[in-house]
A and B are shown apart, each in its own frame.
Chain A
């Protein structure tokens, strides 16, 4: 057993999982607490990645990355809020179908826009010099950038935890996951809450998109690729369960990465196999919300 390879795969898988978590956590809250399903969430991730790549190409791997981390997620959040207010609000009254249609149309349109703005070539950029090497740990060489990804994600997760447990908005969101009906009954401005959560979700996806850039090729297939994985994470982790989605994302990321050592066609099949198996035994995912579908 090649421990070096194994550890590299586990690290890569964990870093993947961290990204999946960032993308999926916002989506699971949006869906679980507010009943908003947005198929175009993956598009936010992809657009953020392209924008981040552009920043890095313009200002270099160090400054560019920092600039991107500051601007891009905020821009993504703003963009998402605008879309929510103009396109999603009119369709909330028709259950979920309107949202599915609108977001499907957005996926098509945004992908095309990405192609027009950023071109069809996949983009690869180098990580910042400080993080492009390796770290020695217990006889294993671990890629510094991957560790960087973990650090950033951990910070974001911490912030998310504070938001959910300390702020009023956060507590409302958590309560709504357990009882979606309650929000309207308590007199909360549900409309504003939806816009806010959509913005937060896009912010998280934006961060994920930017830090994903130095890791691999940014291409036009990312939107579809990541949304499928995000749904798998939500299903396995449980609807509305942020920490469930963290666990699920890590499991998926590591399983996906490690399986490539043993299986030729590992990767995506493993994700879906895990999804099917988990759902067979627990149809509501890791977290069972009592009395809910």
Chain B
């Protein structure tokens, strides 16, 4: 198994507040790594460091064996990184299909074309991708009109449009009910399997985490508490304490 993502000694502070404090971990091919931890533990900041949205004060990120240095997010996408956001980050004034088309166009470098017709560009591919995630019947609905759950699913479809080789999902089931979460997770698991794509996802819902992840990493106050197999993590006393006795 080769290392798809390798983070070494990442540190990020905002003034006196250290959000990420010496975090290191590796993601291998075929893995589904879940990052869990209480609110404010630094998970989103960690994601920002991995995707290049923020630059670390110290430490290094390697993608597929090569250091990404301080590469900007759009350059990392070219290397195969894909990301979804915790707060639905779709394009609200465009329809679902158009949202995916934009992702496809950016991936295929067609965005500087000032002559073709945008509505026709990669329309079939977009429809196919939407069908894959189960939104085919909503392709002509404006993204801002979609239900919250559908928006999260669209978020996933848009992230997939760049054909990433590693997918980072920031709380993909945020705000979803139990049934919707389960559907979303099944979807993610199927896609990960069919594309044999490693996934790193941040989650709060423990059922989701333990039904799906192959490895779990617990982040508390910006530091890695434990990183290992789900069952091991679940039984760890420190993890229980970190969640204040919550039954996980």
- Which residues from 253 to 293 on chain A have a C-beta closer than 8 Å to any C-beta of chain B? 290-291
B14 contact set on A, CB distance < 8 A = 290-291
- Give, as a whole number of angstroms, the nearest-CB distance from B44 to chain A: 12
A291 contact set on B, CB distance < 8 A = 14
- Bound complex: CA A291 to CA B15 (Å): 11
**Interface set of A (CB-CB < 8 Å, partner B):** 290-291
A290 contact set on B, CB distance < 8 A = 14-15
- Bound complex: CA A290 to CA B17 (Å): 12
- Give, as a whole number of angstroms, the nearest-CB distance from B49 to chain A: 15
User: What 1/0 mask marks residues of chain B from 14 to 47 whose CB sits below 8 Å from any chain A CB?
Assistant: 1100000000000000000000000000000000
Smallest CB-CB separation from B14: which chain A residue? Answer: A290
B15 contact set on A, CB distance < 8 A = 290
- Give, as a whole number of angstroms, the nearest-CB distance from A287 to chain B: 14
- Bound complex: CA A290 to CA B13 (Å): 12
- Give, as a whole number of angstroms, the nearest-CB distance from B42 to chain A: 15
**Interface set of B (CB-CB < 8 Å, partner A):** 14-15
- Give, as a whole number of angstroms, the nearest-CB distance from A181 to chain B: 13
- Bound complex: CA A290 to CA B14 (Å): 8
- Give, as a whole number of angstroms, the nearest-CB distance from B13 to chain A: 11
- Bound complex: CA A291 to CA B14 (Å): 9
- Give, as a whole number of angstroms, the nearest-CB distance from B234 to chain A: 35
- Give, as a whole number of angstroms, the nearest-CB distance from B18 to chain A: 14
3 cross-chain CB contacts under 8 A: A290-B14, A290-B15, A291-B14
- Bound complex: CA A290 to CA B19 (Å): 14
- Bound complex: CA A291 to CA B19 (Å): 13
Smallest CB-CB separation from A291: which chain B residue? Answer: B14
- Bound complex: CA A106 to CA B14 (Å): 42
- Give, as a whole number of angstroms, the nearest-CB distance from B2 to chain A: 37
- Bound complex: CA A12 to CA B15 (Å): 39
Nearest 3 Cβ contacts at the A-B interface: A290-B14, A290-B15, A291-B14
- Bound complex: CA A290 to CA B54 (Å): 13
- Give, as a whole number of angstroms, the nearest-CB distance from B93 to chain A: 14
- Give, as a whole number of angstroms, the nearest-CB distance from A288 to chain B: 10
Smallest CB-CB separation from B15: which chain A residue? Answer: A290
- Bound complex: CA A280 to CA B208 (Å): 47
Smallest CB-CB separation from B17: which chain A residue? Answer: A290
- Bound complex: CA A290 to CA B15 (Å): 9
- Give, as a whole number of angstroms, the nearest-CB distance from A97 to chain B: 15
- Give, as a whole number of angstroms, the nearest-CB distance from B167 to chain A: 27
- Give, as a whole number of angstroms, the nearest-CB distance from B70 to chain A: 19
- Give, as a whole number of angstroms, the nearest-CB distance from A270 to chain B: 34
- Give, as a whole number of angstroms, the nearest-CB distance from A119 to chain B: 49
- Bound complex: CA A47 to CA B32 (Å): 67
- Give, as a whole number of angstroms, the nearest-CB distance from A167 to chain B: 27
- Bound complex: CA A44 to CA B56 (Å): 47
- Bound complex: CA A223 to CA B15 (Å): 40
- Bound complex: CA A291 to CA B13 (Å): 12
- Bound complex: CA A181 to CA B45 (Å): 21
